[in-house]
A and B are shown apart, each in its own frame.
Chain A
Amino acid sequence: MTTSRRDFFKVTTVGGVAASMLGFDLTQAQAEVRELKIARTTETRSTCPYCAVGCGVIIHTLGDKSANVRPAVVHIEGDPDHPINQGALCPKGATIKHNIVNDRRITRPMYRAPGSGKWEEKSWDFMIDRIARLLKDTRDSKLREANALTAVGVIGGCTDNNENNYLLVKAFRAGMGIIPMEQQARI
């Protein structure tokens, strides 16, 4: 085992206590500070998902993206180049890391059977098959004149990207014929 720089300081400071007790003044020229925790991270440019100011953020993830490392978020900070936030963030944006790394995240498909009082873990195949079956049954039985399906609604997308909003509209409205499609704008 090699003596790290930190250990070396510990040794000297303990020595310092002894010296001080004996009436000597410690001559301490330097003290160590914590190393910059983002010194070796990978930076990814992104946009804060909260309000519509659209602050640029830099997501610092662990490591250099080598194949054996799963990136983990180390830190998130404002993007200093962004003309709007110029590096700043609000209290929500400043804690956005905990929106990503959070033990309350759902990580498995969960299913609640009719009348049940609990969630059950299910496979994606089960979920997609069942959802598609229900959706098709409704469409086949409830499709109205002019290809309008009003018995199924789709809400969402206001914190998702344009592309997914467009895919929702394309697949669910232009494809399936769903009329009730809304998001947060009115509310």
Chain B
Amino acid sequence: MTTQALEVKNASAGAASPGIRLTEPVAKLIDTSTCIGCKACEVACQEWNDLPAETTVNLGTYQTLPQMTPHFWNLIRFIEVEMNGQLHWLMRKDQCMHCSDPGCLKACPAPGAIVQYQNGIVDFQQENCIGCGYCIAGCPFNVPKLSGQTRKIYKCTLCVDRVSVGLEPACIKACPTNCLSFGTKDALLLKAQKRVDQLKSSGFEAAGIYDPQGVGGTGVVTVLAYADRPEAYGLPANPTIPMSVVLWKQPLKWIGNLAILGGIVGAFLHYLRYGPKHVPEGEKSKQAAGGGPA
């Protein structure tokens, strides 16, 4: 299958030069106050990305899984909580937040394994991924997941393949109640503020927008009826990139490069000892087709 190219703003383990095209940052808006937790976005994501179904068990909640997985990039969190003397059943769509300042990208030692396109989408390039898992440590939202099968990391791509041809992401399109929308971040912030004003006028005085600045703002704009309590929705109050990652990115970078070198030497030794890893043809082409885990 052929691919198409997008201009990159930032890439792991190496600075990208900015392109000349004007590309506005894109974002998702999640209005948790109109989400009914139907999970259409969960499966629309899997369907579009050709991800296999998970084997799950009922854990005493409507939530599909405790956490996202390499095959499940979009998870609605269900939380029952009593606030202001009233029962709330909070539902929030969780996925990669597409941070402006992505901790994963900062942490990643593999060149080009994580890229940030000019439009702000943070995407993993699995063929460059070495499976070290540093991005997991770098993410304040616990998003990237390592596949035990392919030893690569997977997460929401913000349907970059759709977005690059002018389509909205699959999860956005599927949403029955319009609690999800897609567009430029500026437009969505305006829209979110309108909804926040509406919520405030109907009695939700603490309504607000979640767009944490500790990670430079996110490509996911979240409207919360109780913005003073993001933890109630399973969101960190003040997410930041872990200090270890910040350090790693600056003076300690050469250690990382050494580590990669070590990795490559290790791989070479592995090759000498066990020979080449045989990947079935079909699987190879599937991986080449864009990173769907086999």
Contacts and interface: CB of A to CB of B under 8 A. Distances in A.
B2 A95 contact: no
A94 B112 contact: no
Given A17-B110, A28-B115, A88-B176, 9 more contacts: A17-B264, A19-B111, A20-B260, A28-B17, A31-B6, A31-B11, A31-B123, A34-B1, A77-B173
Contacts, number: 141
**4 pairs of A and B residues whose beta carbons are closest in the complex:** A34-B290, A26-B14, A32-B3, A30-B5
Contacts of B115: 28, 31
Contact of A28 (B3, B16, B39): B16
A48 to B, nearest CB: 12
Contact of B11 (A28, A34, A97): A28
Contact of A13 (B39, B128, B288): B128
B112 A29 contact: no
Contacts of B164: 33
A85 B176 CA distance: 7
A10 interface: yes
Dominant secondary structure at the B interface: mixed
A36 interface: yes
B39 A29 contact: no
Nearest to B45: A94
B174 A89 contact: yes
Contact of A95 (B14, B43, B289): B43
Contacts of A97: 47
B38 interface: yes
A90 interface: yes
Interface in B150-196: 157, 160-162, 164-165, 167, 170, 173-176, 178
Nearest to A87: B173
Interface of A: 4-6, 9-10, 13, 16-17, 19-21, 23, 25-37, 39, 75-78, 80, 85, 87-91, 93-95, 97
A80 B170 CA distance: 13
Given A17-B110, A20-B257, A36-B162, A30 B44 contact: no
Nearest to B20: A29
A16 B112 contact: yes
B55 interface: no
Interface string B255-280: 00100110010000000000000000
28 contacts: A6-B2, A13-B111, A21-B257, A21-B261, A26-B112, A27-B16, A27-B17, A29-B17, A31-B5, A32-B3, A32-B4, A32-B6, A33-B6, A34-B3, A35-B161, A36-B165, A36-B167, A37-B50, A39-B165, A75-B48, A78-B174, A80-B173, A87-B173, A88-B175, A89-B40, A94-B44, A94-B174, A97-B47
Nearest to B117: A31
Contact of A30 (B7, B13, B175): B7
Interface footprint category on B: 35 or more
Contacts of B174: 78, 88-89, 94
A21 B14 CA distance: 10
B50 to A, nearest CB: 8
A128 to B, nearest CB: 37
A33 B3 contact: yes
A153 B49 CA distance: 45
A33 B161 contact: yes
Contact of B6 (A5, A21, A30): A30
A114 B154 CA distance: 53
A21 B176 contact: no
A31 B8 contact: yes
User: Among the interface residues B16, B112, B160, B289, which one has the most CB atoms of the partner chain A within 10 A?
Assistant: B112
A77 B7 CA distance: 28
B112 A91 contact: no
Contacts of B125: 13, 31
A36 B167 CA distance: 10
A134 to B, nearest CB: 41
B19 interface: yes
Contacts of A28: 8, 11, 14, 16-17, 111-112, 115
